[in-house]
Chain A
Amino acid sequence: MQLKSWLARVAVPLGLILAGVAVAVYFVENPGGAMAARVLSYPKVIRLINEHLLMVVVSSSLAIAAAVPLGILISRPALRVLGIIIENIINVAQTVPSLAVLALFMTILGLGFKTAVFALWLYSLLPILRNTYAGIKSVPPDVIEAARGMGMTPLRILTRIELPLAYPIVMAGIRTAVVVNVGTATLASFIGAGGLGMMIISGISVSRPTLVLCGALLSAIMAILFDNVLGQVENYLLDRG
């Protein structure tokens, strides 16, 4: 039983990783021309995947670390007005295309990995912040009032009532942010940050569909993998309370 549930948990991520390896091996072995073969070598593919992963993990972690506390902060009754203002700013900011965000910060911070991480961080901040705020705000007022009436301190209400109830919504925001982040990170190659976007961009510039396909497939698999793993983390934490 224990083994079975454990297998069920690792089956999907393992399958996705295998699919990723298969895709990489297939395209490296069948690059479809010498031009594409220059990009499609094992060391290069591995390096690009690594860069991509690093960008996503660093920017997403920083975004979670910043957005969740900020979301909690602006949901406090004392900061109600600020919360509404920030919520609206977020909604507007979210409409700015991700490529534009990257381009904008390139002009300010220059080319490279750090700029890409910063832009990705900023862009992931929004869905997490919005969901944290909305999640806490979605807790029924009578539940909070019951908690207050029974003598729970505001901090206890936050940790015992509000956060557990908001948790699924917060997690949904984090998953959305990370999945979008994997996709957006392909654009980071435009500002010289590397990653799987490199394959796609070179593929476009030299008209080699195999390159585009390989980069796109690998980043898509990576997005699904992140989503699945985060979903499992969510369920695990939910079971533990």
Chain B
Amino acid sequence: MGMSFSPGRRTFLRSTLLGMLLAPATAAARRRYAYPVATNVLRPPGAVPEEHFAATCIRCGRCVEICPYLCIKPLDIRSGVNAGSPIIEIENIPCYLCMKCVDVCPTGALRRIPQAQTRMGVAVVDRYTCVSWKDKILCRTCYSVCPFMDKAIRLQEFKPVIDERHCTGCGICTHACPVPRQQGGKAVNVEPIYAREFTLPEEAQQIGGAV
């Protein structure tokens, strides 16, 4: 059998190879690496969905350099392929939505977006640890610091309630929440919108630790 390549076969091989290269990556391929986002660990504003982020960001660090609050940090090599990509740990420094980082991104990993339409995540009030809900104490810290007061966080019978339609996930409420770590962490936490696993804290442990 001769190995003469007919033009048809050559075209076929070429197009197959090209197709393999250009066909959309399967979801399975994207799941091969773990997402670095988690509760209170978020991407900067305007970020493309997490499954595209590692590929879209070229790790130039310009969002890190321009952030006036130093809230954006580059990940390191322990995050695997996400090394060098930006992350915000809102418990340390939240995002104050100055929207400077989205203007400097050269690759479109951070897209320009109006401040109020930013969705870094969504805040969730833990009614088991929140002192307003649990102890009937009049704490409204999260309500007072929220940049979208009375929209993203409302007070319902003096208890904070999140409105997902307006919450940007900036994390200012989480940063300000006075509930100490020993009592099971912050009473208001920001969950990434695309979180796959979200479990409520164990009830018994919370009540036991709160004494």
Bind each other: no
Residues of B participating in the A interface, judged by any CB pair closer than 8 Å: none
